[in-house]
Amino acid sequence: MRSISNLLPRQMLKAPLALASIIHEYEPTELPIKPSDWLNALDKMLGDLQFTCNVNEIALANSMNGGDTYYYYFTHRATQQTWPEWMGVLHGYEINFIFGEPLNTERFKYTKEEQELSYRFMRYWANFARTGNPNKNPDGTYTADVWPMYTQASMQYINLTVESDYSAGASRIGVGPRRKQCSFWKKLLPNLMAAVADTGDQVMRWKQEMYRWENDYIVDWQLYFEQYKKYQTYRYADSENGQC
C-alpha cells in the first residue's frame, strides 16, 4: 500500500475508495502471491498511467484529426540489455534496433533473430519517411507483415518483437493496447473520484453565492425594478396628457 501511495498523483490519494479501486485493478490474482508479483503489478500500473494510456490518447487524437497514424508496441527484451531482467522491456530501447545496432557484429552479440528485427524496424521507418506508409517499399511492393493504420474504429497496432516471441499462429496485430486498463484510468477512475470527492468547499462556495444573491443582487434588482416601474408610470401619464 505504501509503495503504491508513493507512486500515485497526490489528488488520487485523497479518496480512499479511488486508491482501493487501483489496488483492485492491479493486484495479482494467482496464489500464492510473491513479492515479485507485486513488483510486476506496480510496473504495469506505472506503465499504463505514465506511458501507454497517454500514447493511446495521442494516437487517437492524431487519427481523429486526419493524421495517418501507425502504432507499434515493442515487446522484445534484447539479449544485450544491461538492466536487470525484472525491469522487462525498457522505454526507448527500440531505438537501438531502428538505427541498426544489432548489425554491428564487431561490438555486439545480438542474435540472428534480433538482426532480422532490426531490418524490419529500419524498413518500416524508411518506408514511412519516404512515403508516409511504413508498408510501401521503394519498388512499389509491400512488406510481408502489413502494419495497419490506427483508427478510432479499429485501434489496431503492430507488435514488434522477434519471431520466436510470437506463439504458434498468434497474430502480430493487436487492439488497444491495454484498452481495459486505460478505460479504467481515463473513464472509471475520474468518475469515481468525482463521485466521492469532498464537497465541503463546493457547498461553502454555493452558500456564499446564495448569500450574495439574497442580500445584494436581489436587493439591487428590486431597487432598479421599482425605479423602472416609476419611470414607466411617468411615461404612461405623459402619454395620456399628450406630452409624448
What angle, rounded to 10 degrees, do the helices at 16-26 and 35-47 form?
A: 110
* Residue among 142, 147, 152 at smallest CA distance from 173: 147
d(Cα 66, Cα 47) in Å, to the nearest integer?
28
Co-location of 78 and 164 in the same domain: yes
Co-location of 99 and 153 in the same domain: yes
Position 238 scores a pLDDT of 64
Co-location of 89 and 184 in the same domain: no
Position 74 scores a pLDDT of 94
Tell whether pTM > 0.75. no
Co-location of 101 and 170 in the same domain: yes
Co-location of 86 and 132 in the same domain: yes
DSSP codes of every residue in 174-195: EESSSHHHHHIIIIIHHHHHHH
Co-location of 239 and 172 in the same domain: no
The answer to whether 136 and 127 have CB atoms below 8 angstroms apart is yes
Position 166 scores a pLDDT of 75
Co-location of 90 and 167 in the same domain: yes
Residue 72 bridge partners (DSSP): 158
Co-location of 78 and 170 in the same domain: yes
Co-location of 11 and 102 in the same domain: no
The answer to whether 157 and 60 have CB atoms below 8 angstroms apart is no
Position 215 scores a pLDDT of 67
Position 12 scores a pLDDT of 77
Cell reading at 92: 526507448
Domains contained in the chain, number: 3
Q: Which domain holds residue 124?
A: 72-176
Distant-in-sequence, close-in-space partners of 120: CB < 8 Å, separation ≥ 6: 143, 145, 160
List the pLDDT tens digit at each of the 244 positions of the chain. 566 777 787 777 777 888 889 999 999 988 899 988 988 898 899 999 999 999 999 999 999 999 999 999 999 999 998 898 888 888 899 999 999 999 999 999 999 999 999 999 999 999 999 999 999 999 999 998 899 999 999 999 999 999 887 766 667 899 989 999 999 999 999 888 887 766 665 665 676 677 677 766 676 677 777 777 777 776 666 666 665 5
d(Cα 159, Cα 180) in Å, to the nearest integer?
18
Distant-in-sequence, close-in-space partners of 69: CB < 8 Å, separation ≥ 6: 59, 62, 63, 149, 150, 151
Co-location of 53 and 119 in the same domain: no
Position 98 scores a pLDDT of 97
Strand, helix or coil at 131? Answer: helix
Residue with cell 511504413: 134
Co-location of 49 and 103 in the same domain: no
d(Cα 120, Cα 97) in Å, to the nearest integer?
9
**E strand spans, the chain:** 72-74, 156-160, 173-175
The answer to whether 73 and 158 have CB atoms below 8 angstroms apart is yes
Co-location of 104 and 124 in the same domain: yes
